[in-house]
Amino acid sequence: MTERLNVAVVGAGYWGPNLARNFRASPDWNLAAICDLDTERAQRVADSVGGVPVSGSLDEVLADPGIDAVAIATPARTHHAIVLAALEAGKHVIVEKPLADTRERGLEMVEAARERGLVLMADHTYCYTPAVLKIRELIADGFLGDILFIDSVRINLGLIQPDVDVFWDLAPHDLSIMDFILPGGLDASTVAAQGADPLKTGKSCVGYLTLPLAGGAMAHIHVNWLSPTKIRQMVIGGTKRTLVWDDLNPQQRLSVYDRGVDLALQSKESSTTATARDANISYRLGDTWSPALPEREALAGVAAEFAGAIREKRDARTSGAAGLRVLSVLEAAAGSLRAAGAPHPIDTTN
């Protein structure tokens, strides 16, 4: 049996308890500590998973030679300092989204992990849901054909965050999913962002992102804190089939439609002078298929992937580089907002 790795969870707020519970249940991990400045809060998390050592000192946790890795569940503005300290101490790191609060800091984190030969993994939890894993498989197998468009909606009557706008709060989910399911990752050179602040909060509460993708495809993301209804839906159109993912429908999360538009050029003059006016468009109406999906918690897959990357000395499937690509789009979107929605270049250096 492979020896378990030891992990400490840093941050006992909203997400930390979920990480603690899944690491505790994982056959790959021994939950070694819960660390939080509020030790009473940390103790409550520790008690909820059956008892774990608690610490109010990050330095104390990082100095423990028995701890192999840390899972960071703290506000994004704190990620940079904590991750660099953990890497300096020789610990592998998984950090919740977004990777950092700026691309520059995220890049420094990725480079530090690379230089030390350590795993830096982004906790892009949605990427480990059975639905998204199936979408990735179908696209990789060519079942949808070439991707023509991705349309994603993530809206609800949600908590207006004090430190970030709706793009930084909600769009990382959709961007990380697109980066995960598309062969070669999220390959976009520009992004256009439109945001609105009808409540005068000082930040966008409603927003739209448009990203031209490689090969002429387009991705569109709608995020909204003000909708009275909750929608979590993504439509992925291909040349062969179209897939609809409705995350709020547990009975049928995925539907694949053999319906679409077939475009065949038929020249009326010669085979070499076919133009747009010669296009013959036909509509395809075929079957609808819903693949069966297992019901399991995505974070269990996250914990397993983190351990696998460490043991196999490889990048995680949602690596620090993937987190950096998401950060790059978010920063470019902020630039587009400042330019009244004009397309803004995405920094792709790493």
| Closest alpha carbon to 75 in 103, 91, 105, 98 | 98
State the average pLDDT over residues 220-224: 98
**SS3 of residue 53 by DSSP:** coil
Task: Identify the residue whose tokens are 């490689």.
Answer: 214
Amino acid type, 304: A
130-157 confidence digits (pLDDT tens) = 999 999 999 999 999 999 999 999 999 9
Whole-number average pLDDT of the chain: 93
Amino acid type, 86: A
Give DSSP secondary structure letters for 142-165: TSS-SEEEEEEEEEEE----SSS-
Flag whether pLDDT at 278 surpasses 70. Answer: no
163-208 confidence digits (pLDDT tens) = 899 999 999 999 999 999 999 899 899 999 999 999 999 999 999 9
For β-strands 254-265 and 279-289, DSSP reports them as antiparallel
Task: Identify the residue whose tokens are 């949602």.
Answer: 318
- Please give the Cα distance from 81 to 132 (Å, whole number): 31
Which region, left, alpha or beta, applies to residue 145 given φ > 0 means left and ψ of -120 to 50 means alpha?
left
Asked if 69 and 5 count as a contact pair (C-beta separation under 8 A), the reply is yes
| Closest alpha carbon to 168 in 225, 248, 219 | 225
Cα separation values, 32 from 2, 71, 129, 244, 254, Å: 17, 11, 26, 41, 38
Q: What local confidence, expressed as pLDDT, does residue 162 receive?
A: 84
* Measured distance between the N- and C-terminal CA atoms of the chain, rounded to whole angstroms: 38
Flag whether pLDDT at 281 surpasses 90. Answer: no
Neighbours of 194 (CB within 10 A): 15
Flag whether pLDDT at 270 surpasses 60. Answer: no
Q: What percent of the chain has pLDDT over 70?
A: 94
310-343 confidence digits (pLDDT tens) = 999 999 999 999 999 999 999 999 999 999 999 9
Q: What local confidence, expressed as pLDDT, does residue 279 receive?
A: 56
Asked if 152 and 174 count as a contact pair (C-beta separation under 8 A), the reply is yes
Flag whether pLDDT at 113 surpasses 90. Answer: yes
Asked if 303 and 22 count as a contact pair (C-beta separation under 8 A), the reply is yes
| Closest alpha carbon to 112 in 79, 77, 75 | 79
- Please give the Cα distance from 3 to 184 (Å, whole number): 33
